[in-house]
Amino acid sequence: MILAGDVGGTKTALAVLDETSATRRIVREATLPSREIESFEDAVVTFIGGAPALRVRAACLGVAGPVADGRAVTTNLPWELEESKLAGVLGCPVRLVNDLEAAATGVLDLPDEDFLILQSGQRRSGGHMAMIAAGTGLGEAFMIWDGSRYQVVASEGGHVDFAPRDEIEIDLLRFLRAEFGHVSYERVLSGPGLHHIYGFLQSRAGHAAPDWLRHRLGSEDPSAVISEVALAGDDPVCVEALDRFVSVYGSEAGNLALKAVATGGVVVGGGIAPRIRARLADGRFVKAFLSKGRFEELLSTVPVKVALDPRAPLWGAARVAGELAGS
Q: Which residues contact 86 (CB under 8 A, 6 or more apart)?
A: 41, 44, 59, 61, 94, 96
Measured CA to CA, the distance from residue 217 to residue 85 in angstroms comes to 40
Q: What is the mean pLDDT of residues 235-243?
A: 98
pLDDT at 53: 56
Is pLDDT at 318 greater than 90 in this prediction? yes
Is pLDDT at 13 greater than 70 in this prediction? yes
Q: Assign domain 111-308 to a CATH class.
A: alpha beta
Is pLDDT at 283 greater than 80 in this prediction? yes
Distances from the Cα of 287 to the Cαs of 88, 163, 237, 309, in angstroms? 50, 17, 21, 25
Q: What is the mean pLDDT of residues 214-242?
A: 98
pLDDT at 21: 60
Q: Domain 2-105+311-326, CATH 3.30.420.40 — does that match?
A: yes
In contact, 271 and 310? CB cutoff 8 Å: yes
pLDDT at 327: 57
User: Domain residue spans in the chain?
Assistant: 2-105+311-326, 111-308
Q: Which residues contact 172 (CB under 8 A, 6 or more apart)?
A: 164, 188, 197, 200, 244
Q: What are the backbone dihedrals phi and psi of residue 182, each rounded to the nearest 5 degrees, phi first?
A: -75, 135
Determine if the pTM surpasses 0.85.
Answer: yes
Q: What is the mean pLDDT of residues 52-73?
A: 86
Is pLDDT at 23 greater than 70 in this prediction? no
